[in-house]
Amino acid sequence: MANSQIVRRRIHSIRNAARICKATEMIATARMKRAQAQATAGRPYADKIRQVVSDLALQPGDNGDIHPLLQRRDATKIAIIHITTDHGLCGGLNANQNHLVASSILEQSVPVTLIVIGRKGKGFARTTRRDTYAVFTGISDSPRLQETLPISRAIINGYSKGDFDLVYLVYPRFTSTIKQTPVMEILLPVKPPPSPTPQAREYLYEPLPDVVLAELLPRFVEMQIYHAILELKACEQSARMVAMRDASDNAHELTQSLTMTLHRLRQENITREICDISGGAESGGSDELYEGR
Amino acid sequence: MATFKLEIVTAERMIFSGDVSEIVAWGTEGQMGILPHHVPLMTILRPGDLLIKKGEEEQYMAISGGFLEVGLDKVVILADACERAGEIDIERAEAARRQAEKTLKTSPSKTATAAAEIALRRSLVRLKVARKKPHR
């Protein structure tokens, strides 16, 4: 009897867990749609600014000065921007990111400092005792550009001051709902993307091209960081949705098999009781029992 | 009526896309108008109001800095932030203006003063655009 009690309790607790998983899944589904829409809404700006930067990079500089953000330096210190989620329950998303960062740190021959975004990455940096330059947490689910500007400014400032000579950006790329690929890109120095239209268009620049470029480059960096964060948000929600769906399916299976066990136990008990009764009746000849019926 | 395609995009979303006949914006050298068949141009925009004309129809927007690119067939504005006249929260803009003025008066440092000046300009532009009646 005690045994079936335990099984009953387990079924109960699994059902409760399944309910929570289901709810989390539904919330993640709704948020994922919003996050995906947000990630695609900024694409025209991203495409345009990329094209303008590549056009401008083709322009010969007037005095041969290269903008600091474009200048290649010998790397004596490298920074890696590690973008993770604030919350867990999203499958292997953060583990994959951590893995990529950890393995790329091992590849470098110079000291590496981490710029961490998200609580999960913060935990990773602490447990693996990595040198961290800055930590940012608590970015909302549908971030505005404004929210990410302090991050971008800190990175641009650090680079200009020479705190690091090369900056990598590591973030999960949203390939599909069930697939997120960790990617690693060079953020600084800015490498102008190859121009899709090879002929440099004859533009009138007002003021001079270098001035426009100098204004444009920080925004280009800000845009890249903002987009990486948007990608993360879309990945987070879809990874959570998939993980929670698996979890609630699993819980369903478990309750089914436990219910089977419960019924088997219950039947066994009944059989045993009947055996006891009929055994008792045969041996004892207690007529009272029959009369009692 | 000659028109050209205008797109206004921010890092967050596309704000405007459509055919217009004239725009007037604040460039670095002052206010400038763009008509169809303008030469290809790339310029920095200062915080200011943007007038979009389509025939007789006029529409105002507030832009807080960005870039303007005149291409062969279309004009693209890369705005840091951009609001249509109807979207502006007058109270918030007013509060931002007061805050900026206060910072300017007390001005703890040079960078703070510069930032406050930009903030002041932005809030003034918002207020100016918001008080213009949107023609739609």
Q: Is B13 at the interface with chain A, CB within 8 A?
A: yes
Per the DSSP assignment, residues forming a β-bridge with B83 are B62
Q: Which CATH class is domain B89-130?
A: mainly alpha
Whether ipTM exceeds 0.85: no
Average pLDDT over residues A178-196: 84
Question: What is the distance in angstroms between the Cα of B27 and the nearest Cα belonging to chain A?
Answer: 8
Mutate to test the interface with A, among B8, B13, B45, B70 (most CBs of A within 10 A): B13
Strand-pair category, A132-136 with A112-117:
parallel
pLDDT at A193 over 80: no
pLDDT-derived band of residue A211, with 50, 70 and 90 as boundaries? confident
In chain B, what are the domain boundaries? Answer: 4-85, 89-130
Q: Is the pLDDT of residue A37 over 50?
A: yes
Residue of A44, A57, A48, A73 whose CA lies nearest to A212: A57
Residues of A in contact with B27 (CB under 8 A): 206
Count of other CB atoms within 10 angstroms of residue A39: 19
d(CA B11, CA B50): 18
Cβ-based contacts of A49 with chain B (< 8 Å): 78
Using pLDDT thresholds of 50, 70 and 90, give the confidence band for residue A272: very high
B42/A211 CB distance under 8 A: no
Count of pairs with CB atoms under 8 A, one residue in A, one in B: 71
Please check the confidence at residue B112 and state whether its pLDDT lies above 80: no
- The residue of A43, A149, A203 whose CB has the most chain B CBs within 10 angstroms, and thus the best one to mutate to test that interface, is A203
Whole-number Å distance between alpha carbons of B17 and B5:
7
Between residues A199 and A232, which one has the greater pLDDT? A232
Contacts of A152 in chain B (CB under 8 A): none
Look up residue A255 and give its two tokens.
Answer: 């309750």
Per-residue pLDDT at A63 exceeds 60: no
Asked if residues A193 and A187 have their Cβ atoms less than 8 Å apart, the reply is no
Which pLDDT score is estimated for B133?
Answer: 56
Which is more confidently placed, A32 or A284? A32
Within 67-96 of B, beta carbons closer than 8 Å to A belong to 67, 69, 71, 76, 78, 80-81
Smallest Cα distance from A203 to chain B, Å: 5
Average pLDDT of span B58-62: 87
CA distances from A43 to A29, A197, A231, A261 (A): 22, 19, 12, 54
* CA B53/CA B24 separation, integer angstroms: 8
Q: Does B29 touch chain A (CB under 8 A)?
A: yes
Phi, psi angles (nearest 5°) of residue A249: -60, -45
Q: What is the mean pLDDT of residues A204-227?
A: 88
What is the mean predicted confidence (pLDDT) over B34-49?
A: 89
φ, ψ at A289 (rounded to 5°): -60, -45
Residue A172: CB atoms within 10 Å: 27
pLDDT tens profile A81-111: 999 999 989 989 999 999 999 999 999 889 9
pLDDT of residue A119: 94
Q: Residue A146, CB half-sphere, CA atoms under 13 Å: how many?
A: 3
> Does the bond joining A207 to the residue before it have cis omega, within 30 degrees of 0?
yes
Instruction: Give B81's contacts in chain A (Cβ within 8 Å).
Output: 145
- B99-128: average pLDDT: 79
What token pair was written down for A102?
């950890």
Tally helices (H) and strands (E) across chain A.
7, 6
First to last CA, chain B: 19
Query: Smallest CA–CA separation between B20 and chain A, in Å?
Result: 19
Q: Edge to edge, what strands does the sheet with A78-83 contain?
A: A132-136, A112-117, A78-83, A166-176, A179-188
Q: Which of B12, B41, B71 sits opposite A145 (nearest CB)?
A: B12
Dihedral through CA A62, CA A63, CA A68, CA A69, nearest 10? Answer: 20
Q: Which residue on chain A is closest to B27 by alpha carbon?
A: A206
Would the CB atoms of A206 and B44 count as touching at under 8 Å? Answer: yes
Dist CA A235 CA A258 (whole Å):
34
User: Chain A window 122-161: which residues touch B at a Cβ cutoff of 8 Å?
Assistant: 144-145
- Could you check whether B4-85 and B89-130 share the same CATH topology? no
- Which pLDDT does position B135 carry in this prediction? 47
Predicted confidence band of residue A285 (pLDDT cuts 50, 70, 90): low
C-alpha distance from B2 to closest chain A C-alpha (Å): 22
Stretch A225-245: mean pLDDT: 94
CATH class of B4-85: mainly beta
Q: Which residues of B touch A142 (CB under 8 A)?
A: none
Query: Is pLDDT at A287 greater than 60 in this prediction?
Result: no
Helix and strand counts by DSSP (H, E) for chain B: 2, 8
**Interface touch B9/A206, C-beta < 8 Å:** no
Across the interface, of A49, A144, A226, the residue whose CB is closest to B78 is: A49
Q: How confident is residue A222, by pLDDT bands cut at 50, 70 and 90?
A: very high
Say yes or no: A218 contacts chain B, CB-CB below 8 A. no
**pLDDT given for residue B136 in this prediction:** 43
**A228 has pLDDT over 50:** yes
